[in-house]
Amino acid sequence: MGFVSPEAVTVENGHLKLHALKRDGRILLGAVGTQNRFMARYGYWECRAQLQKSPGIWAAFWIQSPDIAKGEDPAIFGAEIDIMECFKKLGPDIVSHNVHWAYGPHQKTTHGMQSYLKGVNEGFHTFGLEWTPEYYVFFVDGYRFYEVTNGVSHIDEYLILSMEVPSDPKELKDTVFPDVFVVDYVKAYQKKRNAGVKKSQ
């Protein structure tokens, strides 16, 4: 029902705009990713963005594994880490976080975690993830909301920013097209590796 299209991706005034458009009965969606261009593991990942206005469609900032469907151990095959998804049907000023791994018949998930922050529906806000070998921590505007120890990936993964569409067309009955997910920046930080401390003799 929805198709990712270059027509739905623009850059204006220093902002990346990922649109949801209707063209000739089709829904065109904006998405960008860094597979094979920028891939990393662990660290702190953040974007500053303005969320879409409509229900039905949703904005997403996530990290994906290239090997997620190859096996069930997230440490080896990675995980889908949903840093932020904005489902308007959950109510105003709510964003969701999730982790999925083992794509296939035994797929596992942490199940959706909802963060409420007054005003997140309007203007620009930051959405962040701290990813370590032991856990994930999800942030909104610098506030720590959830820590998760399940499904932790130990492999290099890539970033995706996207507009998404539900599989059930009935969920689009209140969607107003066009809509847009506006991204100001994306940053990924990694801790410096400990080079060791030289002890005095």
pLDDT (tens digit per residue) in 41-65: 999 999 999 999 999 999 999 999 9
Name the percent of the chain lying above pLDDT 90: 91
Give me Rg for the CA atoms of the chain.
18
Band (201; pLDDT cuts 50, 70, 90): very low
* Mean of per-residue pLDDT scores for the chain: 94
pLDDT for the residue 194? 56
Spatial separation of the C-alpha atoms in residues 122 and 68, rounded to whole Å: 34
Higher pLDDT, 83 or 92: 83
At residue 199, the pLDDT reads 43
Quick one: pLDDT at residue 131? Answer: 98
Lookup result for tokens 């921590």? 137
Question: How sure is the predictor about 200, in pLDDT bands with cuts at 50, 70 and 90?
Answer: very low
Is the predicted pLDDT of residue 99 greater than 80, yes or no?
yes
| Res 174 pLDDT > 90 | yes
- The mean per-residue pLDDT over the stretch 70-86 comes to 98
Give me the architecture of the 2-189 domain, per CATH.
Sandwich (2.60)
As a whole number of angstroms, the distance between CA 151 and CA 81 comes to 9
Structure tokens at 70: 């190859």
Q: In this model, does residue 21 exceed pLDDT 60?
A: yes
Amino acid letter at 3? Answer: F
Tell me what pLDDT residue 25 has. 87
Alpha carbon distance 69, 107 (integer Å): 9
Residue percentage of the chain with pLDDT more than 70 = 96
Question: Whole-angstrom Cα distance, residue 58 to residue 46?
Answer: 18
What pLDDT is attached to residue 192? 78
pTM of the full predicted structure? Answer: 0.94
Residue 195 has pLDDT above 70, yes or no: no
Across residues 105-124, what is the average pLDDT?
96
Tell me how far apart the alpha carbons of residues 85 and 65 are, in angstroms, rounded to a whole number.
18
Residue 191 confidence class, pLDDT cut points 50, 70, 90: confident
